Amino acid sequence: MAIHGKVVAITGASSGIGEATARHLASLGAPVVVGARRTDRLDRLVTEIEAGGGRAAATRVDVTDPDGLRSLVTVAVERFGRLDVLVGNAGTTRISTIADLDVEGWAAMVDVNVKGILHGIAAALPVFRRQGGGHLVTVVSTSGLKIVPTQAVYAGTKNAVRTLLEGLRQESTDGVLRTTSISPGYVRTELVDNAVDDPAVREEVRRNMADLGIDPVAVARAIAFAIDQPDDVEIGDLTIRPTRQG
Ligand SMILES: NC(=O)c1ccc[n+]([C@@H]2O[C@H](COP(=O)([O-])OP(=O)(O)OC[C@H]3O[C@@H](n4cnc5c(N)ncnc54)[C@H](OP(=O)(O)O)[C@@H]3O)[C@@H](O)[C@H]2O)c1
């Protein structure tokens, strides 16, 4: 497989899609560098991957800080000699109407979901150019494809990333950089656990997610598919959602 031996750094790998992606790619022979703020979870993940025969390293990353992404990329290069893929997966959401004026929540979504990706691009692009190759994978959302009430700002941040990646792609047609946007629908993770303040609504959102959401490993497999293509083949956009999702 083209994936074997590729060095992959993943943001937001302490839970959900990022964690499943780290496990899956490591099982396919990719050394993985996992970043997030909850380092206890990252350390446990590295131990488990290594116990299964894989290679992994962890470092604390807050994607709202450009230094966090720089250190993620540095760990990849120092531990494994290069960086082939950056999976910009870290994300956060708040569920509320715009009229609720959750200004803090908006700022958090812009900082993590948009600036976090830009910080990753800033850290990884010089390494990709120096190496003569690299792949940027971002986890966006079907929220940006079907716009629904209470998710406007979240959808806006995800579509901002979609736009950024298309712009970057247009500027990078010399064959050095591949870009991929993965759009998951409902996936059973911790994402919505703190997305709503009202306990009753929160419980309902959690129940819906548990009922409808697919296993995060399904998204991990989609990410692996994009990475596994030959260098001259770019999977630009991939949507993966529950069969029952409206
Ligand atoms: N679940 C879904 O239904 C769904 C659907 C479409 C798209 N997505 C997207 O999928 C991605 C992964 O989310 P998930 O569903 O797997 O949810 P999750 O289990 O809540 O994972 C989110 C991850 O992002 C990390 N993160 C949040 N803020 C961060 C920050 N400032 N710096 C570094 N890491 C940060 C968290 O780690 P720490 O808290 O340890 O830092 C965690 O590892 C997100 O971009 C999300 O928007 C999810």
Rounded to an integer, what distance in angstroms lies between the CA atom of residue 72 and that of residue 198?
Answer: 36
Residue 36 vs residues 62, 196, 198, 243: alpha-carbon distances, Å: 6, 22, 27, 30
In a domain, 47, yes or no: yes
In a domain, 1, yes or no: no
In a domain, 246, yes or no: no
**Ligand 1 neighbours (beta carbon < 6 A):** 11-18, 36-38, 61-64, 89-93, 112, 139, 141, 184, 186-187, 189-191, 213, 216
Average pLDDT of the residues in 142-160: 97
In a domain, 175, yes or no: yes
Domain count, the chain: 1
pLDDT value, residue 1: 57
Written as six digits, the tokens of 50 are: 């290594």
CB-side exposure of 61: number of CA atoms within 13 Å? 35
C-alpha of residue 100 to centroid of ligand 1, in Å: 23
Contact 191, 139 (CB under 8 A): no
pLDDT value, residue 57: 98
Nearest alpha carbon, ligand 1 atom 42: 12
Nearest CA among 191, 111, 193, 220 for reference residue 157: 111
In a domain, 245, yes or no: no
pLDDT, mean over the chain: 97
Nearest alpha carbon, ligand 1 atom 32: 62
pTM as predicted? 0.98
Residue owning tokens 């380092």: 39
For 14-67, the pLDDT digits (tens) are 999 999 999 999 999 999 999 999 999 999 999 999 999 999 999 999 999 999
SS3 labels along 199-210: HHHHHHHHHHHH
Is 186 marked active-site?
A: no
In a domain, 210, yes or no: yes
In a domain, 3, yes or no: no
* CATH code, domain with 85: 3.40.50.720
pLDDT value, residue 125: 98
In a domain, 58, yes or no: yes
For 48-61, the pLDDT digits (tens) are 999 999 999 999 99
C-alpha of residue 174 to centroid of ligand 1, in Å: 32
SS3 labels along the chain: CCCCCCCEEEECCCCHHHHHHHHHHHHCCCCEEEEECCHHHHHHHHHHHHHCCCCEEEEECCCCCHHHHHHHHHHHHHHHCCCCEEEECCCCCCCCCHHHCCHHHHHHHHHHHHHHHHHHHHHHHHHHHHHCCEEEEEECCHHHCCCCCCCHHHHHHHHHHHHHHHHHHHHCCCCCEEEEEEEECCECCCCCCCCCCCHHHHHHHHHHHHHHCECHHHHHHHHHHHHCCCCCCCCCEEEECCCCCC
Residue-range definition of the domain harbouring residue 148: 8-240
Give every CB contact of residue 133 below 8 A, 6+ residues apart in sequence: 84, 176, 177, 231
Residue 37 vs residues 62, 116, 171, 194: alpha-carbon distances, Å: 6, 13, 32, 16
Average pLDDT of the residues in 71-84: 98
Q: Which of 10, 67, 92, 104 to probe ligand 1 with, by most ligand atoms within 8 A of CB? A: 92
